[in-house]
Structure 1
């Protein structure tokens, strides 16, 4: 029986190998995908990562953190991923004519010897489709992708809105997909 199974597996590998790829390259297993954690980008650190949950289901949450680069060539943050969140968007709060609003940001430059803060009233990551598995008091992982494809991951403390573990006012109550009408003083 064992020889029959091995022969069957070998027969499956031949068509994949004939395309110029080995069976391992052509069809990664789900376990291999899950087990391959991102490698941290050399010289880049993420600290003080916090996820603020929405007060009401279906509303967006927000992520704050600090990124520093100790040395090397300048980079840019190209994307953010938070475990347990369906979609993320990097945003920046800007004030025009006394009115604060959010606008999407495609990349965020980071330079050698510099620190960039994602904080209330400035750069931040909006979290859409926040899973109910994320609970205040727990942690999740945030992963940033740099412009060169390197990744950096860090644990993120999960908090209820207001920075604590209890209920507080919903900073995202007026947030809509077009980002209009958001009261930035509550973020």
Structure 2
């Protein structure tokens, strides 16, 4: 029992001692990781990152964002990772003969001075096995990886399906014969 008390007091003393130490400057960390190599994609920015939670738990969610390349050689987005999703796949909605379907996309080209927009009804990222720890109103991390290994990570806001975009999701659907007041 005495040993447990000594161990507990020692752990408390160590943790209190750490409180007085100077914290590292976060700007120093950011600049060192940006200069470290493949964690930084020069000239590439990701904006408007958003994760939409699945309507029904166990079904896929989605991620949307815009990737812009200000300068440099043409690149391709090779993959997307979203913290809290087991797997993420880039997809594109395609409409043929009035019928919309989704197909997986291997990569997405980006060129200097241009943007690739991931949005409902177009390019998007399907998120599979979304953790129940992701909650509307919080943020998670979204990371894109380019074909050369460079990465860009940004915070993505997390929204429920009804996060102001139900109209977008239902737009273009044939609603004839449905009582919309029951939906």
Query: TM above 0.5, one fold?
Result: yes
Gaps of 5+ in 2: 1-32, 174-183
Residue 185 of structure 1: how far off its partner (Å): 4.8
Return the index of the structure with the highest Cα Rg: 2
Question: 1:13-162 residue pairs with structure 2 within 5 A?
Answer: 39-162=39-162
Report the aligned-residue RMSD.
Answer: 2.3
Do the aligned residues in 2 keep the contact of 1:121 with 1:185 (CA within 8 Å)? no
Residue 124 of structure 1: how far off its partner (Å): 0.1
User: What are the superposed Cα offsets for residues 43-102 of structure 1, whole Å, 9 maximum, x if unpaired?
Assistant: 000000000001211010000000000000000000000001000110001111110100
Do the aligned residues in 2 keep the contact of 1:142 with 1:155 (CA within 8 Å)? yes
CA separation of 1:185 and 1:52: change in aligned 2, threshold 3 A: farther
Do the aligned residues in 2 keep the contact of 1:59 with 1:128 (CA within 8 Å)? yes
- Residue number in structure 1 paired with 2:6: none
Q: Which structure dedicates a bigger proportion of its chain to helix?
A: 2
Q: TM-score, normalising length from structure 2?
A: 0.70
Gaps of 5+ in 1: 1-35, 172-182
Separation in 2 of the partners of 1:185 and 1:77?
29
Residue 39 of structure 1: how far off its partner (Å): 2.0
Aligned length: 137
Q: TM-score, normalising length from structure 1?
A: 0.68
What secondary structure does 2:145 align onto? strand
